[in-house]
Amino acid sequence: DAGITQSPRHKVTETGTPVTLRCHQTENHRYMYWYRQDPGHGLRLIHYSYGVKDTDKGEVSDGYSVSRSKTEDFLLTLESATSSQTSVYFCAISQGLAGEDTQYFGPGTRLTVL
């Protein structure tokens, strides 16, 4: 298994509070991704990073921000959590090789916003 950890694994928070989720990798992969998983929607890309300090939006980026100050860490922040952000969040990594962009996933973080 790829060396990817996510913290926390579970979190319950209240509407309006800030929340930061952390993804840590030991593979030195260039690309890192944040997805959310909701029933009936599969996985949807929130944000991704293609290098330190290089990030871009995915299809469901509203209400989320990210930062990557080191190759191994990719943070997802909900500035003011809402109930619609209750979901399971997955981090993924890939090497970013041309013609070979297999993504490997972390164990997930279950976030509940009350």
Could you list the residues that contact other proteins (CB under 8 A)? Answer: 31, 33, 40-45, 48, 50, 58, 90, 92, 94, 96, 98-108
CB closer to other proteins, 8 vs 96: 96
CB closer to other proteins, 48 vs 113: 48
Min CB(80)–other proteins separation in Å: 27
Residue type, position 40, single letter: G
CB closer to other proteins, 75 vs 91: 91
Strand partners, 21: 76
The sign one gets for the Cα dihedral 10, 16, 22, 23 is positive
Min CB(26)–other proteins separation in Å: 15
Alpha-carbon distances of 38 from 7, 21, 26, 97, rounded to whole Å: 19, 17, 27, 29
